[in-house]
């Protein structure tokens, strides 16, 4: 046996320790985690970037008293950028202007050429822009930061469509809930790291710029590992075992077309289950972006937490959401596998849990006043229940169409991401003084959005594969197979 062949065998044995579909899922999970750390670290950093006035020791109606230690440590004014709440809202929403633009092109490219590099280069570009953030802010101020955040959004817009296209090639139906929950649950790890580490690093270094250097560098490291370890599909993977490759061929269908020749746009846009899914995504994203983008501002502006405590407690809800998403994913797979529910009813049930539960918890938190322990518990419960979205509506695009999974995810996630523009801007307009009363209206609006969009999903969603998922080649094969069966029946008769 030659030296190169022995190395190939050793490498193959090494990579066989973990099935390659789970290697892809783990790296996809890290992709989402990295994307979210780079997305949300600004939410913490901006609380230190802006100019703040010393908190008053007096308790004002509709606001909480400042913590004693913070009041003593703050001077009458802290240096920073003089950005009002409306300007901050525009900065925080700028990311999503770019984010929605590259969803559809990213999904189409992932279906045509595979998701490996459309995802990889998207995350890499975001990492580079994240590293450039401090320099851009110092040179261009708010305008420069807004432009840079739009560019970051352009890079990250390919993330979910590309991952969905790869899951369609790697995730069997019986494992779809778990793999989808693992991959998409990376968002919670990203939120956890982005919020907790940002607060910790800023406190230790005394410099908000350090968080952008940290997360940008980690993003570049991820890209190197992704390029080395992951491949578009089982057929092109050099280290996959024959056993796993055969299993995936049988589980996913040998006839699945890896490169659909033409996207049935008219059928897709006329699909009622697709638009029901879009509605569910809008509801989820509105509530999710309200929490992700503005929870740190709520903790510093309303509850008067210091930066380290804000980072720690703002991360807690996402820890619970990540754990709950895995539990809900396992539970949903079990329910479907044992046929306790149809796929359709399972998707509707878990989406309802993830809509109504979080909305109610947010309202209760807003009426808990300055009881910080109760508020944190309720926000944590809200995000924990939101974890049911992943085995609910988040993997529903795969149910509807495996051949066009990237395009469907691009449409659904792209439209839903528009709420990322609306939510932070609306919060900035509704909470100019950051009082409890002003924030209460924000949470009532969120509950209304949750309920309305969930009703649409429950009424018209489906977990069945749609007729337009079949490519022309597949439809022709199915017709020929049906004709052969009919011929046999006639001959026997």
**263 or 453, greater pLDDT:** 453
**Residue 352 forms part of a structural domain:** yes
Could you tell me if 174 and 95 are in contact, meaning their C-beta atoms sit under 8 angstroms apart? no
Give φ, ψ of 129 to 5 degrees: -65, -35
pLDDT at 360: 92
Distance of CA 455 to the CA centre of its chain: 22
Could you tell me if 400 and 466 are in contact, meaning their C-beta atoms sit under 8 angstroms apart? yes
pLDDT tens for each residue of 477-493? 544 544 444 444 445 54
Two tokens, residue 454: 């969930």
**Residue 74 forms part of a structural domain:** no
pLDDT, average across residues 294-321:
72
Answer yes or no: is pLDDT of 128 > 50: yes
Residue-range definition of the domain harbouring residue 416: 264-478
pLDDT at 147: 94
Taking the alpha carbons at both ends of the chain, their separation in whole angstroms is: 59
pLDDT at 75: 38
Alpha helix ranges (H) inside 367-471? 372-386, 396-400, 405-416, 418-430, 436-460
Q: Classify 490 as helix, strand or coil.
A: helix
Instruction: Name the average pLDDT for the chain.
Output: 78
**Residue 177 forms part of a structural domain:** yes
Co-location of 205 and 283 in the same domain: no
Co-location of 23 and 91 in the same domain: yes
Question: What is the total count of domains within the chain?
Answer: 2
- Angle, alpha carbons 257-261-265 (nearest 5°): 110
Burial class (CB in 10 A: 0-12, 13-18, 19+), 419: buried
Question: What confidence tier does 470 reach under pLDDT thresholds 50, 70, 90?
Answer: confident
DSSP string, 28-50: HHHHHHHHHHHHHHHHHHHHHHB
Phi/psi region, residue 400 (left: phi>0; alpha: psi -120 to 50; beta: rest), is alpha
CA–CA separation, 100 and 107 (whole Å)? 12
Question: What confidence tier does 465 reach under pLDDT thresholds 50, 70, 90?
Answer: confident
Low-confidence winner among 11-20, 67-76, 328-337 (lowest mean pLDDT): 67-76
CA–CA separation, 234 and 296 (whole Å)? 42
Answer yes or no: is pLDDT of 233 > 70: yes
Answer yes or no: is pLDDT of 140 > 80: yes
Answer yes or no: is pLDDT of 236 > 80: no
Q: CB count, 10 Å around CB of 209? A: 17
Please list, in sequence order, all residues whose beta carbon lies within 8 angstroms of the beta carbon of residue 105, skipping any fewer than 6 positions away.
Answer: 158, 410
SS3 content of the chain, % helix, strand, coil (to 5): 80, 0, 20
Whole-number Cα distances in Å, 295 to 55, 348, 375, 421, 443: 19, 28, 11, 16, 11
Sign of CA dihedral 318, 389, 164, 282: negative
Selection from 334, 325, 293, 314 nearest residue 425 by Cα: 293
Q: CB count, 10 Å around CB of 353? A: 19
Q: Which residues pair with 53 in a beta bridge?
A: 77
Q: Which H or E element spans position 52? A: strand 52-53
**9 or 235, greater pLDDT:** 235
Percent of the chain with pLDDT over 70: 81
Co-location of 147 and 235 in the same domain: yes
**Residue 255 forms part of a structural domain:** no
Could you tell me if 429 and 294 are in contact, meaning their C-beta atoms sit under 8 angstroms apart? no
CATH number, domain with residue 212: 1.20.1250.20
CA–CA separation, 91 and 430 (whole Å)? 16
**Residue 57 forms part of a structural domain:** no
pLDDT at 200: 85
Q: How many helices and strands in the chain, by DSSP H and E?
A: 22, 2
Two tokens, residue 35: 């994307």
pLDDT tens for each residue of 372-388? 788 888 888 988 898 88
Co-location of 334 and 228 in the same domain: no
Answer yes or no: is pLDDT of 13 > 70: no
pLDDT at 29: 92
Two tokens, residue 282: 């809008």
pLDDT at 253: 67
Co-location of 225 and 310 in the same domain: no
Co-location of 288 and 226 in the same domain: no
pLDDT, average across residues 100-122:
82
Co-location of 313 and 452 in the same domain: yes
pLDDT, average across residues 341-347:
87
pLDDT at 183: 87
pLDDT, average across residues 424-448:
83
Low-confidence winner among 52-56, 198-202, 293-297, 466-470 (lowest mean pLDDT): 52-56
Selection from 74, 68, 69 nearest residue 48 by Cα: 74
CA–CA separation, 342 and 417 (whole Å)? 29
pLDDT at 477: 53
Co-location of 180 and 111 in the same domain: yes
Give φ, ψ of 261 to 5 degrees: -75, -35
pLDDT at 68: 42
pLDDT tens for each residue of 55-93? 444 444 556 665 544 443 443 344 567 887 778 878 888
Alpha helix ranges (H) inside 306-342? 307-337
Two tokens, residue 269: 């846009």
Residue owning tokens 């990213």: 106
Co-location of 237 and 279 in the same domain: no
Burial class (CB in 10 A: 0-12, 13-18, 19+), 210: middle
**306 or 237, greater pLDDT:** 237
pLDDT at 374: 84
Please list, in sequence order, all residues whose beta carbon lies within 8 angstroms of the beta carbon of residue 491, skipping any fewer than 6 positions away.
Answer: none
Co-location of 277 and 307 in the same domain: yes
Low-confidence winner among 257-261, 408-412, 417-421 (lowest mean pLDDT): 257-261
**353 or 164, greater pLDDT:** 353
**253 or 408, greater pLDDT:** 408
Two tokens, residue 103: 């969803």
Question: What confidence tier does 310 reach under pLDDT thresholds 50, 70, 90?
Answer: low
pLDDT at 255: 41
Co-location of 268 and 174 in the same domain: no
- Give the domain-ending residue among 211, 242, 273: 242
**Residue 152 forms part of a structural domain:** yes
CA–CA separation, 122 and 103 (whole Å)? 11
Co-location of 158 and 238 in the same domain: yes
pLDDT tens for each residue of 245-270? 888 777 776 445 445 557 788 888 88
pLDDT tens for each residue of 171-226? 787 777 678 778 877 877 887 888 888 888 888 888 888 999 999 999 999 999 99
């Amino acid at each position: 046996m030659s030296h190169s062949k022995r190395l190939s065998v050793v490498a193959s044995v090494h990579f066989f320790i973990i099935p390659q579909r789970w290697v892809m899922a783990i790296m996809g999970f890290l992709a989402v985690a990295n994307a979210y750390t780079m997305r949300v670290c600004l939410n913490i950093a901006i609380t230190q970037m802006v100019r703040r006035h010393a908190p008053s020791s007096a308790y004002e109606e509709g606001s909480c008293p400042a913590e004693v230690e913070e009041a003593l440590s703050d001077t009458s004014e802290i240096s920073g950028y003089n950005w009002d709440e409306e300007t901050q809202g525009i900065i925080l929403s700028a990311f999503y202007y770019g984010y929605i633009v590259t969803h559809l092109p990213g999904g189409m490219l992932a279906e045509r050429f595979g998701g490996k590099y459309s995802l990889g280069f998207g995350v890499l570009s975001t990492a580079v822009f994240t590293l450039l953030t401090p320099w851009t802010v110092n040179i261009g101020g708010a305008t420069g930061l807004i432009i840079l955040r739009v560019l970051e959004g352009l890079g990250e817009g390919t993330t979910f469509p590309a991952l969905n296209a790869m899951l369609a090639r790697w995730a069997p139906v019986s494992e779809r809930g778990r793999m989808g929950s693992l991959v998409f649950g990376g968002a919670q790890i990203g939120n956890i790291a982005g919020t907790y580490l940002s607060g910790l690093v800023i406190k230790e270094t005394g410099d908000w710029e350090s968080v952008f250097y940290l997360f940008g560098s980690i993003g570049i490291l991820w890209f190197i590992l992704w390029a080395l370890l992951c491949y578009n599909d089982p057929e092109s993977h050099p280290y996959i075992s024959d056993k796993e490759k055969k299993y995936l061929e049988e589980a996913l269908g040998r006839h699945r077309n890896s490169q659909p020749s033409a996207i049935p746009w008219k059928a897709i846009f006329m699909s009622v289950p697709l638009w029901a899914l879009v509605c569910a995504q809008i509801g989820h994203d509105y509530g999710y972006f309200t929490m992700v983008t503005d929870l740190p501002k709520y903790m510093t502006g309303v509850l008067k937490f210091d930066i380290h405590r804000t980072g720690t407690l703002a991360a807690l809800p996402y820890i619970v959401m990540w754990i709950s998403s895995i539990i809900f994913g396992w539970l949903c797979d079990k329910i479907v596998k044992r046929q306790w529910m149809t796929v359709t009813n399972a998707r509707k049930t878990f989406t309802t849990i993830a809509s109504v539960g979080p909305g109610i918890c947010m309202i209760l938190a807003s009426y808990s006043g300055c009881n910080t322990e109760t508020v944190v518990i309720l926000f944590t419960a809200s995000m924990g229940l939101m974890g049911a979205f992943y085995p609910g509506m988040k993997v529903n695009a795969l149910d509807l169409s495996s051949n066009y999974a990237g395009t469907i995810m691009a449409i659904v996630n792209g439209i839903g991401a528009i709420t990322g523009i609306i939510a932070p801007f609306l919060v900035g307009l509704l909470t100019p003084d950051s009082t409890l009363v002003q924030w209460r209206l924000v949470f009532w609006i969120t509950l209304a959005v949750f309920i309305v969009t969930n009703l649409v999903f429950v009424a018209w969603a489906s977990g069945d594969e749609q007729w337009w998922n079949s490519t022309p080649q597949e439809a022709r094969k199915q017709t020929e197979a049906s004709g052969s069966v009919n011929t046999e029946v006639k001959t026997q008769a």
